[in-house]
Chains A and B, each alone.
Chain A
Amino acid sequence: MNNSFLRISIWVYLVLFFLYLLGPLVIMSITAFNSSGFPRMSPWECLTFQWFGELFQDQRILNGIKNSLIIGLGTVVLSVAMGLAGALMLTQIWPKLRATYYTVIIAPILIPGVVLGISTLVFWDRINRMLGLGADSFLSNGIFLTVIGQSTFIASYCMLVLVARLQRYDMALTEAALDLGATHAQAFRKILLPFMRPAIASAAVLAFLASFENYNTTTFTFGEYPTLTIELAQKVRYGITPAISALAFIIVALTVFFALLNEAKLKRQELVAAARKNATVEELAGKIKLPSFFAGNMAAVLLVVFAIATITVVGTATAYDPGQCIADVREQKQLEAEQRIQELRKQREERREQREAEEAEQGGAQSTPKPSNNSGFGNVFAPNSLGGDEGESDDGSSDADPAPSNNSGFGNVFDPNSLQNDE
């Protein structure tokens, strides 16, 4: 009883947790396929792939992606190299200095990215000037600065990853290689580097992702080479379109793909290792009988399903034409709009009649003088002006009609009827 309650709570918790974690991503991905001009899931209009097309025609986004990729690669190379050097240094350095050295080298992670960005900019600007170079020199190039700036802290991340592996390295292996005649370079290349390879790969992926998503530091250093994050941030300022959802969807899909690929590979290695353990000598010497790629490899199966899904979607996208649907929707909208306009006209007509009747009753008894500028205000906030695009011009003209008296605008605002007849 108690137990099952606990189990249910855990499941509820898990569902909520994953909803919280993945919900926004899922919804954003779905909006990429809705033809509505604003990214939203409901009302659902038409299934469309137009936003992907639009995304790939957006020169600024494409340029941002290109810059992000270039900067990402640069950062990977620089950060992994510096991280490896730092990690090796940590194992070589005098033990008493080790803690201090570690703190110093980890510090950039704790420094806000904004500070790193500004300091990178200022520092290299100084150097640039000291060398008497112009504003278009290599040292003030946005790509150079961004790579340098991002690497200041990404290298620390890389070092952490690399140190973890290096601590498990037996220095006697390098000595053994030297003893067998290898030069230091050969020992490094043939023994240490292969040992570090998995960690280097992790560090590289980490560095690339950290670079790709970085905004704080980049925003100060990008110069004439805005990255994707910079472009997105600037775009969002002017309003967001589903093209951005399409981009988000692509990124999510790629992430899932690589995660599955990695998982499948790991699982496969595990299976191969297990197979080797049980293999006889002949099997080892000859061809190892590998288990088929899928046997007991859930990730691989998912990967294939995923690939098939992707192919299907892309196939559909090329064949599918939402034109008819979109036209229908547009027609529908137009009809709705016209209908509303008709309604509004009718309302206005009624109101005028009502007012005229009232005025006729009260004569010129209006006592309070109204400042003329009220009318402008009134126009802006007139509920009718929010009614629709087409409505506006109409609204304006209908407002203008009774223009001779200033009261009319004000009257519109405070007219209780106008509140009631909002729709």
Chain B
Amino acid sequence: MSAGVGVDLENLWIRFGDFVAVRDANVNINGGDFFSFLGPSGCGKTTILRAVSGFLEPSEGNVLIGGKNMRGIGPNKRPTALIFQNLALFPLMKVWENITFSMEIKGASSAERRKRADELLDMIALPEQGDKLPSELSGGQRQRVAIARALCAEPDVLLLDEPLSALDLKLRQHMRTELREIQKRVGITFIYITHDQGEALTMSDNIAVMRAGVIDQIANGKTIYNDPNTAFAASFVGENNVFRGKVKQVMGNEALIATNRSGDLVARISTTNQGKMKEGDDAMMFVRPEAFAIAPDGASGDHFVTARVNHEEFEGNAFNIFTEGEGGKEIKVSIPNHGQSFDDHTGQNITLEYETHNAVIVPAGELAAE
């Protein structure tokens, strides 16, 4: 899997005037990986990508592509191709001219270009659409043309800046699979930017979670989902219920938290924070909606929570229960639907239970905005 060309960011800082857009980013991207930067809007994802593609010189630190320092090398000399957030297809050129623009630059003949364009059009499943103008294509087709145009340049690293954000949900889900397949076929490194955690989780080998210029966590999707190392990562990736409190007692890899809302609860300390948390620290405990189960009434202990049900909804694959939580927030509970009978609890107090290894404790910190 490491046949392709890797990308490394070393102590990367990017400033615009006084504003720090990227703060000390250190990332190692393996060759041939599908790597995602995941973060909310404005956190600096595009900025990092522009630094990799060469449109922006880092204020400090280095970008290495295939181990080679890229400082001072312009975008037209780097082995990268960027798929722009708005695609940036050339509106006056036909599809085939768009796709083979990189060959035109190198002086390839028209016949060669047409041949290559036809190959690529076949690959992106748009055969014989080469003579159309970009404006005559649908959004998804344009998307694929942009990919073909970038691939035609035979880059070692393909950079994609939220390429699916303009598409409707169905097409987006379809393109996810397609992109992943294309990546496997061509075998080059993909660096993918998104604020959609679903996209990041489904496609990526590894994900970097970004928050306001800082990279919080780099890991594969499963780790990020199950073992987030910051409050932000825990709350940004997937749905999560938060319980604030103070560490009361550390017991190996687990800790007892005195929560503001539900008394003392026990949970696993997230891997990277193990050994770093001590008694009296502000902490947050996260429990996923699907990690809760309804316990018999009256049960109590350090992994039980009682709450009053506000409302319930049926989502098809699950029943969702929303209960009163801390500070006006709701606790969401998701019970998988196996066809069992389901009582309406609205207005009642229920007791919820979780298994301690399914709840995770991180140091208190900033949460992702809703």
Interface residues of A (CB under 8 A from B): 170, 172-173, 175-183, 186, 190-191, 194-195, 276-277, 281, 284-285
Contact = CB atoms under 8 A, between A and B. Distances in A.
A288 B81 CA distance: 34
B266 to A, nearest CB: 52
Nearest to B101: A180
A172 B91 CA distance: 12
B136 A172 contact: no
A290 to B, nearest CB: 14
B92 A183 contact: no
Nearest to B106: A181
Contact of A190 (B82, B104, B136): B104
B129 A277 contact: no
Contacts of B132: 276, 284
B203 to A, nearest CB: 22
Given A277-B136, A285-B131, A175 B88 contact: yes
Please name the 10 residue pairs, one residue from A and one from B, whose CB atoms are nearest each other, closest first: A172-B88, A176-B88, A180-B102, A284-B131, A178-B75, A179-B82, A182-B105, A178-B76, A181-B105, A181-B76
A96 to B, nearest CB: 13
Given A175-B82, A276-B136, A281-B129, 8 more contacts: A170-B88, A172-B86, A179-B82, A180-B76, A180-B105, A180-B150, A180-B153, A191-B90
Contact of A175 (B55, B101, B102): B55
B45 interface: no
Contact of B76 (A182, A195, A276): A182
A175 B131 contact: no
Contacts, number: 66
B149 interface: yes
A281 B133 CA distance: 12
Interface in B123-177: 128-133, 136, 149-150, 153
A277 B131 CA distance: 12
Contacts of A194: 92
B263 interface: no
Given A179-B76, A181-B76, A285 B81 contact: no
Nearest to B80: A179
B280 interface: no
A284 B149 CA distance: 20
A285 B76 contact: no
Nearest to A194: B92
Among B55, B80, B105, B130, max chain A CB count under 10 A is at: B105
Nearest to A288: B131
A191 B105 CA distance: 12
Nearest to B130: A285
A191 B86 CA distance: 17
9 contacts: A175-B75, A176-B89, A177-B90, A178-B74, A179-B75, A180-B101, A181-B102, A182-B101, A281-B128
Nearest to B55: A175
A285 B128 CA distance: 7
A170 B76 contact: no
A261 B367 CA distance: 65
A176 B105 contact: no
B259 interface: no
A118 to B, nearest CB: 44
Contacts of A277: 136
Contacts of B240: none
Interface string B342-354: 0000000000000
Contacts of B88: 170, 172-173, 175-176
Contacts of A284: 131-132
A409 B92 CA distance: 85
Contact of A180 (B55, B81, B130, B131): B81
Contacts of A285: 128, 130-131
B134 to A, nearest CB: 11
Contacts of B128: 281, 285
Contacts of B130: 285
B101 to A, nearest CB: 5
B323 interface: no
B235 interface: no
Contacts of B92: 194-195
Interface in B255-282: none
Chain B CB within 10 A, most for which of A180, A186, A285: A180
Given A175-B75, A175-B84, A181 B90 contact: no
B90 A186 contact: no
A186 B105 CA distance: 8
A266 B102 CA distance: 32
Given A281-B129, A285-B130, A176 B90 contact: yes
Contacts of B81: 179-180
B53 interface: yes
Contacts of B101: 177, 180, 182, 190
A177 B86 CA distance: 14
A180 B75 CA distance: 8
A177 B102 CA distance: 8
A72 B177 CA distance: 60
Nearest to A182: B105
Interface in B69-117: 74-76, 80-82, 84, 86, 88-92, 101-102, 104-106
